[in-house]
Amino acid sequence: MKLLNTYSRMRKLLILLVALPVFWACNNDSECRQERYVAMEVKLFQTKFDAEEETYIVSNFMPDSISVYGVGNDSILYNGGIEKIKLPLRKTENLSQYVFYVNGRYDTIKVLHENIDNYLSMECGCVVFANINEVTHTNNAIDSAIIRVPEVINVSTTHVEIYYREDK
Amino acid sequence: MSIKKIIVFCVLAMLPIFIFANELSGADSIETQKTLIKKKYKNNKQVFYGFSAHLDVASPLVNYLIDKSMLSFEAAVDVDLMHKYFPTFELGFGSADKINENNIHYKVNAPFYRIGLNFNILRTKNKDGEKKIFIGSYPYIGFRYGFSLFKYDLEGVVINDDYWGVSRPMEVNPKYLYAGWAELVAGVKVNMVKGFTMGWNIRVGLLSHTSRASLKSQLWYIPGFGKNNTVNVMFNYTFGYTFNYDSNKIK
């Protein structure tokens, strides 16, 4: 009986020993599993004056033709019909500028923001969050711009709304 | 880890088990030779039986095998209470000097401490309630609370702005942090000769807290705990000496 108990205990210890390399194999932590893409989301609206009611009607705006790119960078960020745009803010400067070409008319958007560096980990590196202080624009087609959520810490929120005048 | 390394590791790890099993089978003959000690053990109410000091030789090797940029040394002292409970204090030093594929450089050097208890899972009394002779060899389970206060440095952090095509360095100031973790331990200790011991144990560590929770993800290595995983498996292979044991006289 004593021998059986001893063997039973030894067996448990051996099972632990055999399982050890399996535990090690599970410890692969070199991948980054955190979301690192941070951008300012802009949503487009169109304002239309209702003469009968003498009021402005606001509706979602999906232009027939739109292209967006950064000032100082020719790479097109967006091209085609879309009403929500994710714009990468400059991580090394506090002013980001974009050109909006919508239905044949150009406008420039200037975004003044404060960057907040955020180190995540060795695997993920860092991300830069931002606080939007001010949004200005030209008035060729754009009527107004509103900062809805100034803290840019992810891409799941509309941060800025841009209102276009109705095409005549 | 290569197959060869695993085999060498398994053979070394099993050595104390074989010796321990051999000792259990030979305990009766020892008992007859040491009748005085046997008499002393009968109805013995003694609590403190001595203490042991151990030096771990596996930590530097295991750390090296997992990642060459990590280094760890540790030693332990335990107290024998009734041959059943072994309060344990462990002291060590851990360091890491790692540059990863993103060229981020993580540096840390600090001591660490663990306190806890080992529990001898063998019966210490026979069916008549008399104390058995303790030969200084026993399998055990136990727990630890480990902690370290350390400063870590980060260098080479760069912010890349892919769309705008620029980058700039980011300065991360050195930070002081306290980290604590819990461990479950299972192992075996064998009295080899005249109080000189060998043993091994496996530990499963669970990182429980850091003094600033927001900085926890920044850590790559924690002295005494290892890589910053939620769960870590650790291994110790120890050589030691037991002071003031009757079992030393048996050997």
Residue in chain B closest to A31 (alpha carbons) equals B101
Phi, psi of B198 (to 5 degrees): -130, 155
Of the pLDDT bands very low, low, confident and very high (cuts 50, 70, 90), residue B28 is low
Residues of A in contact with B158 (CB under 8 A): 125
Residues B36-53: what's their mean pLDDT? 76
- Label residues A25-64 b or e (16+ Cβ within 10 Å = b): eeeeeeeeeeeeebbbbbbbbbeeeeeeeeeeeeeebebe
Reported as a single tens digit per residue, the pLDDT across B114-159 is 999 999 999 888 888 777 888 889 999 999 999 999 999 999 999 9
Residue A152 has pLDDT above 70, yes or no: yes
Long-range CB contacts for residues B199-202, cutoff 8 Å, separation at least 24: B199/B16, B199/B54, B199/B237, B199/B238, B199/B240, B200/B13, B200/B16, B200/B58, B200/B235, B200/B236, B200/B237, B200/B238, B201/B140, B201/B235, B201/B236, B201/B238, B202/A16, B202/A17, B202/A20, B202/B233, B202/B234, B202/B235
Measure in Å the smallest separation between the Cα of A11 and chain B Cα atoms. 10
CATH 3.40.50.920 fits B3-250, yes or no: no
Reported as a single tens digit per residue, the pLDDT across A114-135 is 999 999 999 899 999 999 999 9
Testing the interface with B: which of A11, A13, A29, A98 to mutate, by most B Cβ within 10 A?
A13
Measure in Å the smallest separation between the Cα of B211 and chain A Cα atoms. 17
pLDDT of residue A54: 85
Residue in chain B closest to A88 (alpha carbons) equals B163
pLDDT of residue A27: 45
Residue among A134, A130, A99, A104 nearest A117 (CA): A130
pLDDT of residue A10: 53
Residues B71-83: what's their mean pLDDT? 95
**What percentage of chain A has pLDDT greater than the value 70?**
81
Number of domains present in the structure of chain A: 1
Residue A88 has pLDDT above 90, yes or no: yes
| Option in A6, A20, A92 nearest B161 (CB) | A92
**What percentage of chain B has pLDDT greater than the value 90?**
59
Are B106 and B142 in contact, with CB atoms under 8 Å apart?
no
pLDDT of residue A25: 41
Q: How many CB pairs (< 8 A) connect A and B?
A: 95
Reported as a single tens digit per residue, the pLDDT across A45-74 is 999 888 888 888 999 999 888 999 999 887
* Mean pLDDT over each residue of chain B, to the nearest integer: 85
Phi, psi of B218 (to 5 degrees): -75, -20
Residue B218 has pLDDT above 50, yes or no: yes
Q: Is A37 on the interface with B (CB under 8 A)?
A: no
| Option in B139, B217, B232 nearest A9 (CB) | B139
Residue B199 has pLDDT above 50, yes or no: yes
Residue A17 has pLDDT above 60, yes or no: no
pLDDT of residue B4: 53
Domain assignment present for residue A19? The answer is: no
Residue in chain A closest to B6 (alpha carbons) equals A21
Measure in Å the smallest separation between the Cα of B51 and chain A Cα atoms. 24
| Option in B159, B165, B229 nearest A27 (CB) | B229
Measure in Å the smallest separation between the Cα of A162 and chain B Cα atoms. 22
Residues of A in contact with B202 (CB under 8 A): 16-17, 20
ipTM of the complex: 0.73
- Residue A129's domain spans which residues? 40-165
Of the pLDDT bands very low, low, confident and very high (cuts 50, 70, 90), residue A26 is very low
